[in-house]
Amino acid sequence: MASKYDPQEAEPKWRQAWADAELFRAKTPLEAGGAPKAYVLEMFPYPSGRLHMGHVRNYAMGDVVARHKKAKGYNVLHPMGWDAFGMPAENAAMERGVHPGEWTYQNIAAMKAQFEKLGLSLDWSREFATCDPDYYGEQQRLFLKFMEKGLVYQKKAKVNWDPVDNTVLANEQVVDGKGWRSGAAVEQRELVQWFFRITDYAEDLLEEVQKLERWPEKVRTMQANWIGRSEGLQMRFEWASDEPDGYEDGVEIFTTRPDTLFGASFVALSPDHPLTIELAEGNSELQAFRAKCAQIGTSEADIEKAPKMGFDTGLKVQHSFTGQTLPVWIANFVLMGYGTGAIFACPAHDQRDFDFARKYDLPILPVVKPSDKDAAEGLWVRSGLGDDMDAAYTGPGVIMNSDFLDTLEIGPAKTAAIARIEELALGEGTTNYRLRDWGVSRQRYWGCPIPVVYCEECGIVPVPEADLPVKLPDDVSFQLPGNPLAHHPTWKHCTCPECGGPATRETDTLDTFNDSSWYFARFASVDDPAERAYWLPVDQYVGGVEHAVLHLLYARFFTRAMRDVGELDLPSGEPFAGLFTQGMVTHETYQSKDGKWLEPAAVERRGDEVVEITTGDPVEVGDIVKMSKSKKNVVDPDEIIATFGADTARWFVLSDSPPERDIEWTQAGAEGAARFVQRVWAVFDELPNTKPGAPEGKTDLRQASHKAVAAIDKAIEEFRFNAAIAEFYTWLNAIKKGAGESETNRYEAASMLARCLPPFMPHLAETCWARIGGVGFVSETAWPEIDAALTVDDTVTLPIQVNGKRRAEIAVSKTASKDEIEQIAMAAPDLQSHIEGKMPKKIIVVPGRIVNIVV
């Protein structure tokens, strides 16, 4: 009777042994000799205190890559740390009176203990938390470097205010008009804030993201859309009426449709345009209008439904080409933050302008005529005057009613219009970006203090490097609303580093996305630039797609900024050469009759029904969605590990679904994975504990093994872990089938299997390796060599099609010529009834693939 493999006994033992041997410590370049480096990184976790299945999947994937690279001879860096600043710690402080630091470090300890149970090949020697003063002190130094270089500035700006977290949010952190963390409707407030000039890098960030071939197309597109480059014309309209003070030259507008200039019927300013503000002084009607716009603007979610609103200033400008006068309106749909905050409107070819023109009875002048084909398809109903139009026409066509632009297609017309405006010295072709500067000030305690002081004499003064880090005070109160740093009785008072007079500290802290924007460089080395240059960029980064435009954009900016202030030797500026975004772990949801969510552990399947265990009441099975506390559809990794072992948990989250897609956690699936563990062990359990001799022959088992190793290798390289796992199953089935083969061949198969398993089930792999007398740890044993000759078959089975339908099969030698194959095929007995003596018109022979007979 075969013995049973006990993960609970084996797993802790191996983890201790790996730790004692410092198996996963990254080597220095010198120690590594000529070995190539591989920096494998998963997005570091926020220390919430509990590991969830999503973490398990994320880190299991990274570990596959790290362990595989190690087996392939790379010098691997696979570190781990903690993204430790953030609101939850402050919330805990408010709710339970525990200090955020204490709460955070306790969570880190608890989570680390859970992490260690997974058997990941992590180099813990490089561990840090972003709330370590060491770390954020260095971040403050970088901030000051950026400031020196002019990459940081302060301005009063309308910002997104989260009324629940009581802090400002960056544009990237506002999702559907709501705070990304709190879910509260975001308001607009005017505040003085620190900004990073991420827009300085807009062009480079856009251009380079397209070149990141080992990034998912989806993420590249999302970043490109976010940066939002658009080419157009910036020009000014000169006054046809009195010139307002400071605007003697006219009104600057931006447009991407200079081809429709002849269709202009008015110019519109943003309610927040400086000219609007100037005009509003002493104009109560306009003040009321601005207030009304601002009201709607308070909730971004409302903007979508907001009606078009306008205010006629009474001012007139002159059309640059026709000399006509156009009225200047203030329109609520014009945004101050994009372009110049002013537009010219062509209602016939822009829906917003169209809606506005209809509401305020402004002219609609069509200037783009669709081709006959487009017109026939109803894209354009009537030509002539726009009064007949039901909507703006934004499709392709030919310019009309436009003097020198007539008959040109839209593209050439744009070029011609820009050229003419440039000749007239009224403007020039420009490029605009949707991306805006990154507002980094947060009115929170648990973050990196911004290292500047305000002096009445000297103004804004950077904290000298010698005085860094500017540490957070420990004695803070969370009883008052708002920023605890601002409430602190003494902390903010200091002396000015320049004049020695009284000064106050900046009480805002940095957006926590700063912390995660360079942590990978810190992992590479605490302070040695050469070591950082050696490891960076990260070769394989793994994390959730939710960071597609947040973290992943900020980090790309940070590495560029660090490079440009001489802090990082990374010519490309790209921190992550390869990126993989993994799917979520989902689970069925359960609701009792009274609508309460039930935990998976509280229900069980009885026949076709799902019932509550305690009461036996039927339970409604709901959607399969991401595991979340609110729906209680969570499975605790600790419990799974206690039941099945870490290997089973890792195996299951990698099996079945492709890594980029969501995977549904099911009890049955986990049991299947656990079954596999025992079946693998059974193979090893009956083998000798020393190598019985050299394997021999080109047998089915040997072929299966050598093919499997090649297939698993390829699948891992291609990030198709589910396919790799399927190969393991197929291989194991072949091993069972090959039970009658010689012991030497069976030993070879098992030995190869043990060496392929560590990326997926490292503990089982070690146990199996030890069982058959393997030398050292299999975790640092090379990936098995394969004999290429064993991966090709001598004979192949070819399907034979008649008119594309499969009718027969023949076995032919691998080396058979086309003619030989054709002869054998034509003689196949199963085939005759389908040919019925007809002469084939054509016979297609693809050696090694297929034969198709056309009759």
Partner RNA sequence: GCCUCUCUGGCGGAAUUGGUAGACGCGACGGAUUCAAAAUCCGUUUCUGGCAACAGAGUGCCGGUUCGAGUCCGGCGAGAGGCACCA
**Site residues for RNA, window 346-365 (CB under 7 A)?**
350, 352
Enumerate residues 731-750 that contact RNA by CB under 7 A: 733, 736
Closest distance to RNA from the beta carbon of 506 (Å): 28
- CB closer to RNA out of 467 and 660: 660
Tell me: does residue 803 bind RNA (CB under 7 A): yes
Which DSSP category does 440 fall into? -
Among 36, 97, 274, 337, binds RNA (CB under 7 A): 337
Structure tokens at 413: 């017309």
Q: For residues 525-584, which are near RNA according to CB under 7 A? A: 545, 548-549
Alpha-carbon gap, residue 657 to 145, rounded angstroms: 45
Using CB under 7 A, pick the residue from 187, 238, 564, 656 that binds RNA: 656
Part of the chain binding RNA (CB under 7 A), chosen from 21-29, 77-85, 498-506, 839-847:
839-847
Taking the complex as a whole, the smallest distance from the CB of residue 341 to RNA amounts, in Å, to 6
Considering the rule CB under 7 A, would residue 661 count as an interface residue with RNA? yes
Q: Is residue 58 within 8 Å of residue 68, measured between CB atoms?
A: no
Interaction between residue 217 and RNA (CB under 7 A): yes
Between 98 and 296, name the residue whose CB sits nearer to RNA.
Answer: 296
| Distances in whole angstroms, Cα of residue 167 to Cα of each of 93, 159, 475 | 17, 10, 21
Structure tokens at 50: 């509990």
- Determine which helix (DSSP H) or strand (DSSP E) holds 510, and give its type and residue range: strand 509-510
Residue 805 sits in the site that holds RNA (CB under 7 A): yes
Q: Should residue 807 be labelled a site residue for RNA when binding is judged by CB under 7 A?
A: yes
C-alpha–C-alpha distance, residues 134 and 616, integer Å: 56
Residues 6+ apart with CB under 8 A from 72: 782, 783
Say if residues 254 and 440 touch (Cβ distance below 8 Å): no
Considering the complex, state which of residue 320 and residue 655 has its C-beta at the smaller distance from RNA. Answer: 655
- 452 burial (CB, 10 Å; 0-12 / 13-18 / 19+) is buried
Residues, the chain, total? 855
Q: How far is the CB of 692 from RNA (least distance, A)?
A: 24
Residue from 100, 339, 600, 738 binding RNA (CB under 7 A) = 339
| Closer CB to RNA, 91 or 256, in the complex | 256
- Which of 91, 729, 743, 826 touches RNA (CB under 7 A)? 729
Q: Which two structure tokens, joined as six digits, stand for 763?
A: 């503990």
596 is a site residue for RNA (CB under 7 A):
no
Q: Are 645 and 11 in contact (CB under 8 A)?
A: yes
Hey, which residues between 255 and 274 contact RNA (CB under 7 A)?
A: 255-257, 270
What are the φ and ψ backbone dihedral angles of 101, each rounded to 5 degrees?
-65, -45
8 Å CB contact between 66 and 59: no
Contact 77/26 with Cβ under 8 angstroms?
yes
Please identify, among the stretches 92-100, 397-405, 639-647, 725-733, the one whose residues bind RNA according to the rule CB under 7 A.
Answer: 725-733
- Residue 844 C-beta: closest distance to RNA, Å: 4
Closest Cα to residue 348, out of 380, 321, 318, 373? Answer: 380
Nearer to RNA, 181 or 505 (CB): 181
Q: Does 160 bind RNA (CB under 7 A)?
A: no
Please report, as residue ranges, which positions from 380 to 439 form the binding site for RNA (by CB under 7 A): 432, 434
- Based on the shown chain and the rule CB under 7 A, indicate whether residue 184 belongs to the binding site for RNA: no
Establish how many alpha carbons lie within 13 A of residue 806's alpha carbon, considering only the half-sphere containing its beta carbon. Answer: 7
For RNA, which stretch binds (CB under 7 A), given 69-77, 119-127, 423-431, 797-805? Answer: 797-805
When asked if residue 513 is in the footprint of RNA (CB under 7 A), the reply is no
Residue closer to RNA (CB basis): 25 or 197 = 197
Nearer to RNA, 656 or 780 (CB): 656
The three state secondary structure string of 621-684 is EEEEEECCHHHCCCCCHHHHHHHHCHHHHHHHHHCCCCCCCCEECCHHHHHHHHHHHHHHHHHH
Residues sharing a CB contact under 8 Å with residue 712, sequence separation 6 or more, in sequence order: 724, 727, 728, 731, 756
According to the binding rule CB under 7 A, does residue 292 interact with RNA? no
Does the protein bind RNA through residue 133 (CB under 7 A)?
no
Judged by CB under 7 A, the number of residues near RNA is 86
Q: Is the dihedral of CA 750, 754, 760, 763 positive or negative?
A: positive
Among residues 247, 338, 360, 597, the one that binds RNA under rule CB under 7 A: 338
Q: Which is nearer to RNA, 89 or 725 (CB)?
A: 725
CA distance 649 to 56: 8
Distance CA 848, CA 261 (A): 64
Query: Does residue 735 sit in helix, strand or coil?
Result: helix
Q: Which amino acid is at 189?
A: R
User: Which residue in the set 325, 730, 742, 791 belongs to the binding site for RNA (CB under 7 A)?
Assistant: 730
Residue pointed to by tokens 């120690």: 31
- Considering only 809, 822, 826, 835, the residue that binds RNA (CB under 7 A) is 809
Residue 686 within binding range of RNA, rule CB under 7 A: no
Asked if 564 and 150 count as a contact pair (C-beta separation under 8 A), the reply is no
461 binds RNA (CB under 7 A): no
Q: Which stretch binds RNA (CB under 7 A): 250-258, 404-412, 494-502, 819-827?
A: 250-258
Tell me: does residue 447 bind RNA (CB under 7 A).
no
Where in 819-838 is the site for RNA (CB under 7 A)? 830, 833-834
Interaction of residue 218 with RNA, rule CB under 7 A: yes
Which residues, in sequence order, are CB contacts of 705 under 8 Å at separation 6+? 731, 734, 735, 748, 749, 752, 753, 790
Q: Which of 107, 114, 655, 779 binds RNA (CB under 7 A)?
A: 655
Residue 844 found at the interface with RNA (CB under 7 A): yes
User: Among 23-31, 93-101, 571-579, 844-852, which window interacts with RNA (CB under 7 A)?
Assistant: 844-852
Residue 310, φ and ψ in degrees, nearest 5: -140, 160
441-442 vs 509-510, strand pairing mode:
antiparallel
Q: Residue 537, preceding bond cis, omega within 30 degrees?
A: yes
Query: Where in 54-73 is the site for RNA (CB under 7 A)?
Result: none
The interface mask with RNA, positions 302-331, x = CB under 7 A, is -xx-xxx-----------------------
To the nearest whole angstrom, how small is the minimum distance from the Cβ of residue 587 to RNA? Answer: 13
Tokens of 457: 């004499």
- Least distance from RNA to the Cβ atom of residue 280, Å: 18
Q: Is 806 in the site for RNA (CB under 7 A)?
A: yes
Nearer to RNA, 213 or 475 (CB): 213
Of 234 and 781, CB closest to RNA: 234
Pick between residue 261 and residue 452 the one whose CB is nearest to RNA: 261
Structure-token pair, residue 793: 């078959």
647 binds RNA (CB under 7 A): no
Binding segment for RNA (CB under 7 A), chosen from 184-192, 205-213, 365-373, 658-666, is 658-666
Q: Are 26 and 78 in contact (CB under 8 A)?
A: yes
Residue 222 makes contact with RNA by CB under 7 A: yes
Q: How far apart are CA 389 and CA 399, in angstroms?
A: 17
